Structure 1
C-alpha cells in the first residue's frame, strides 16, 4: 500500500450518517467519508453540503464515497478522483438505510432541494 498524505486507512468512520445533519435533524442525498479523520458528511447534492464544508474547515482534502458498492476517492484541492487504500470498516452506511436518508426525515419534495 502506498501512503497518501491526507488518507488515514485505520481511522473508522464517525457513524452511519452525516454527523452534522443528524445534529440538526436534517437529511442527505448521499454520504461521503473524510479519509483523514473519518467524519461522515453529506454530498454536494445534499442541501447542507457538509462533506465539502468539513474539508474546507479542516483542510482534509480526501473523501471517499460512503455508499454501498462505491469505493472512489475525491480530492477537494485538486478536484480530481483518485484510487486509494481500503479504509477501516464499515466502508458504507448500513444497507437498510435509504438514499436519500435517513428514513423519516427526507421531505416528499426532496428533489426540489438538491444542488
Structure 2
C-alpha cells in the first residue's frame, strides 16, 4: 500500500550519516535505539523509541513526509502525513 507522497520522492537519496543519527552525533550523543532515513533528503535520524526522537523532529522542521528504516535487513517506509506504512 502506498500514499500520494511516495510519488513526490526523489529517485534516490544518499544518507548524510553512515555512523548513526546525524543529530545525536553532532551533539556528542550515541544513545539512539533505531535509525531512519528521510527519503526526501537522506537525513539519518533516530526513531521515536530513542530519547531525542530526531526523525520526527526532522519531519516537523522540514516537512519531508516519508522515512524508511535505516536498519540492516529492514526496508519498510512510513508516511508521517498519512500516519501509515507505505
Where on the TM-score scale, by shorter chain, does this alignment land: which range? 0.7 to 0.9
Query: Which residues in structure 2 correspond to 1:19-98 (within 5 Å)?
Result: 19-26=22-29, 27-82=31-86
Aligned to 2:14: 12
Larger radius of gyration, structure 1 or 2?
A: 1
Deviation at 1:68, TM superposition (A): 0.5
Structure 1: give runs of 5+ residues left out of the alignment.
83-115
Deviation readout 1:39-68 (Å, 9 max, x if unpaired): 000000000000000001000000000001
Counterpart Cα distance in 2 of 1:36 and 1:28:
21
Extract structure 1 runs of 4+ deviating beyond 6 A. none
Unaligned runs of 5+ in 2: 1-5
3-state SS of 1:4 partner: helix
TM-score, length-scaled by structure 2: 0.87
